[in-house]
Each structure stands twice: as structure tokens, then as C-alpha cells.
């Protein structure tokens, strides 16, 4: 591969895929939350924690990330944004922290579930985003995720968690994806929506 190819690393959970509506839907089906609750993952989590039902939230996560993942939506504008930047000199890579099975509850292969969601949403399709399977990396720990991003030679990395971005070296342009909340990220660009991505990539952050 040419050294001129610019590698753009992408987180998966809450960056490519949005679980907000699905967490609310499944929690409501199980009678865990009131209907008037904010329909977001954070809203569900905070409510269950407030009534000392952290264990139910952990079980809910396993179901949403595994058995029900195909019902989750792509983040708004993400598919179009990625399609628009695909060029010969750009390579997209997915690097995510994801355990093989849920921490609690029924055993389910979370890696295969996530790949199934990617397939459903056209990531591996020749008429979609044309990813190869070896361009998708699910790592069982945060430390292994960070090491993989570095090893792959990513020039940019996009993640919804500042705690991950803080672990990456500053020669990587670290972009915080923060569509719904105030960002406390100060060491790189903040992306409020996926439509901003082409503009962010055209700016020079490396001097």
C-alpha cells in the first residue's frame, strides 16, 4: 500500500451505530422504565442507576448489543459521510473495544453480532462502503484497541469517548464525535454531526 494513503480509524459503538432508540424500546418492553423517560441510552442508564437497578442495565446492554443489535440505527448522516470521503488515497478502518460475550446474562457473540449489523447496513457490499472483513477490528480491552489504532497507522481517529482519545498519541488527529452533549474534549476537533467530516479532513491539524 502506498505511504500516501491516509488511514481514518472509526470507533463503532455510539459512533457508527446509535443505540438510543433501541435501549428505550427494549427497556420499555421489559417494564423497566416509565414511558415518559428521555428516549436515549443515557436516559435509560441514569434512570436504572437512580433506582439501584444497575444489574438490569448491564443485562439490557448484553441484549441490545447482541440479540437485538440489528434493530439499531446508523448514526444520522454517517453512511453518506463515509461514502463521500472514500477515495483511493483514503482508507477507512473500524477499531472498537468490544468483549466477545456480554459481562452478564446469556452468552452471545457480540463480535459476530456487530459484523452482522455492518453487513446489514452495506459496509461489506460492493454497492455500499466496500469494506473488507480484515478492515474491522474488535478488541476485548481498551488498551488493545488503542494499540491496534497505533499499529494500523491511523492518521485520524473518531470516537465518542474522550477517555479513549486521551490514550492515543498526539500525532494522531483525534476527533471527538459528540452530537448530543457538551464536549469536554480540548485536544482536537469536535464533530457535532457526520456532515462535518469532509470539512474536518480537509483542515491541516499537523502543521
Q: What is the mean pLDDT of residues 19-38?
A: 97
pLDDT at 207 over 70: no
pLDDT value, residue 1: 43
Residue where the block lists cell 420499555: 28
100-119 mean pLDDT: 93
pLDDT for 206 = 63
- The structure's pTM equals 0.93
- Domains delineated in the chain: 6-18+74-202 (3.40.50.1000), 20-71 (no CATH)
Q: Over the stretch 114-163, which tens digit does the pLDDT of each residue have?
A: 999 999 999 999 999 999 999 999 999 999 999 999 999 999 999 999 99
pLDDT in tens, 38-93: 999 999 999 999 999 999 999 999 999 999 999 999 999 999 999 999 877 899 99
- For residue 2, the model assigns a pLDDT of 45
pLDDT at 10 over 80: yes
Amino acid at each position: 500500500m502506498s505511504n500516501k494513503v491516509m488511514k481514518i480509524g472509526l470507533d463503532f459503538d455510539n459512533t457508527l451505530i446509535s443505540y438510543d432508540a433501541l435501549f428505550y424500546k427494549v427497556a420499555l418492553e421489559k417494564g423497566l422504565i416509565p414511558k415518559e423517560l428521555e428516549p436515549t441510552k443515557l436516559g435509560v442508564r441514569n434512570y436504572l442507576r437512580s433506582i439501584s437497578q444497575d444489574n438490569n442495565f448491564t443485562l439490557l446492554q448484553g441484549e441490545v448489543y447482541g440479540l437485538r443489535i440489528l434493530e439499531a440505527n446508523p448514526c444520522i448522516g454517517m453512511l453518506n459521510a463515509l461514502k463521500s470521503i472514500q477515495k483511493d488515497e483514503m482508507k477507512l478502518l473500524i477499531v472498537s473495544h468490544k468483549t466477545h460475550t456480554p459481562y452478564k446474562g446469556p452468552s452471545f457473540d457480540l463480535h459476530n453480532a456487530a459484523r452482522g449489523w455492518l453487513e446489514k447496513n452495506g459496509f461489506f457490499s460492493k454497492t455500499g462502503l466496500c469494506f473488507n472483513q480484515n478492515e474491522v477490528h474488535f478488541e476485548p480491552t481498551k488498551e488493545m484497541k488503542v494499540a491496534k489504532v497505533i499499529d494500523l497507522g491511523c492518521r485520524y481517529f473518531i470516537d465518542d469517548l474522550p477517555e479513549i482519545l486521551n490514550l492515543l498519541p498526539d500525532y494522531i488527529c483525534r476527533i471527538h464525535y459528540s452530537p448530543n452533549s457538551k464536549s469536554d474534549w480540548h485536544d482536537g476537533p469536535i464533530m457535532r454531526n457526520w456532515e462535518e467530516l469532509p470539512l474536518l479532513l480537509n483542515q491541516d491539524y499537523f502543521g
